[in-house]
Amino acid sequence: MLGQGFVSAAAIAASVLFVLSLGGLSNQEKAKRAVWYGIVGMAVAVLFTAFGPGIGNYWLMIPMIAIGSVIGWKVATRVAMTEMPQLVAALHSFVGLAAVFVAWNADLERRRVLAAQALGAGYQEFSAFAALVATKASDELTFLQLEVVFAIFIGAVTFTGSVVAFGKLAGKVDGKPHKLPGGHMLNAGAAAFSLLLAILYLNGAGFWTLLILAALAFFIGWHLIMGIGGADMPVVVSMLNSYSGWAAAAIGFTLSNDLLIVTGALVGSSGAILSYIMCKAMNRNFVSVILGGFGGGTQGPAAEIEGEQVAIDAAGVASSLNNADSVVIVPGYGMAVAQAQNAVSELVRKLRSAGKEVRFAIHPVAGRLPGHMNVLLAEARVPYDIVLEMDEINDDFPKTDVTIVIGSNDIVNPAAQDDPNSPIAGMPVLEVWKSSVVFVCKRGQGTGYSGIENPLFYKENTRMFYGDARESIDSLLSLID
């Protein structure tokens, strides 16, 4: 058993490592080291918390940690990068559900202590948490109840919201937005009823209030995310990440665990900041994101698209690349699905060896997870200095000879600028159509995951390079001079 001093020192060390981890993840060159900071910080946090004062039941805790570690290792080694977004959503759901269970247990312990005190009995046979509750004054117990309410509500919303997000990202749930009749009024009514239950609970009502509160929050989380279209899932995942952080912080206050408070606050605040940045990148209202109020509606019918999609073969694409001086590659989720990043990296190497300027254009919400494309390119050892953000490269498209779009739709859709009735109207996009020639690597003529038509595919300077992205890029490699 370790003393409180050791635990406090470990909490400070782990907190510093978590901050360093978050800071390093903003830079591709430091990202791997930053991940190790996070791993070591979490190991320190778990170890010193598990063997801290007032902790027991090791016969149960140690096997659970071992089982969870093995499962985590197995999942991490089997999940491909294409499945990483839904894995993150699934992990968010675990945090939310854990917050609900811990909050329920905290209130049951509170009730046991109060009952024992009313009878003049001791509470020493209860848990360490019960002993902590017994020392609290009445106003501190009120704050404990507030923490319980907050943890249950945010945790339950996070759980069902993350489950739906997982389903949409994995293709197990329709990616289109769906709402029950009544739409936002149902969510508002459930939230108002939740507030009423919280007031009743704070005024002495029974444990049943927390059960119904959780049920209502489960509904809100499910209905909020069901009402958001698949094209907006990157922002949703980021926002759910923030929710899970605040749920963890609330539980930290409940358990008087400083490290959990710090960790939850870091996750919650960083997730909220990232969501805000992504909302700006998509021209979305931040408050509307939180309330699940975007992703589905339009002001009228979208503009009709004229023309036809013109296909091209590998020889035609290779001919244009051989004659080009400047090339921009725009990766999207289609590249991840086909696992084409290594083939793309080899194509870049050959083009640069031929003296051509090659760069990547990365939209802030490319893929289904913030930073998804950056991770894939880093995995394929693409040089960091040729990977540029949208704002850095958008003005260069008119001077670009060839742009290759690999599995992207919304982030290169001119309807965002030209059609006020488009579901993505006003969203900043990569203006690839201003290049001399645009080649779009795409499996077929469908609208893809988001279900939004793209006029880019019908423009005179666009040619459709149909097929699996990895096979298509591989077919070019032998044709590049």
Residues with a known catalytic role: 410
Q: Please check whether residue 104 is in contact with residue 111, taking contact to mean a CB–CB distance below 8 angstroms.
A: no
Beta pairing partners, 360: 329, 387
Whole-angstrom CA distances from 233 to 83, 154, 298, 306 are: 14, 19, 18, 29
Which of 220, 212, 214 lies closest to 240 in space, CA to CA? 220
Which of 387, 375, 391 lies closest to 429 in space, CA to CA? 391
**Which distant-in-sequence residues (6+ apart) come within 8 Å of 300 by Cβ?**
421
Q: Can you tell me whether residue 404 is helix, strand or coil?
A: strand
Range list of H helices, 283-363: 286-290, 314-323, 333-338, 341-353
DSSP string, 437-450: EEEEEESSSS-TTT
Burial of 431 (0-12, 13-18, 19+ CB in 10 A): buried
Which of 405, 394, 411 lies closest to 449 in space, CA to CA? 411
Structure tokens at 186: 């149902």
Alpha carbon distance 165, 230 (integer Å): 9
Q: Can you tell me whether residue 154 is helix, strand or coil?
A: helix
Taking the alpha carbons at both ends of the chain, their separation in whole angstroms is 68
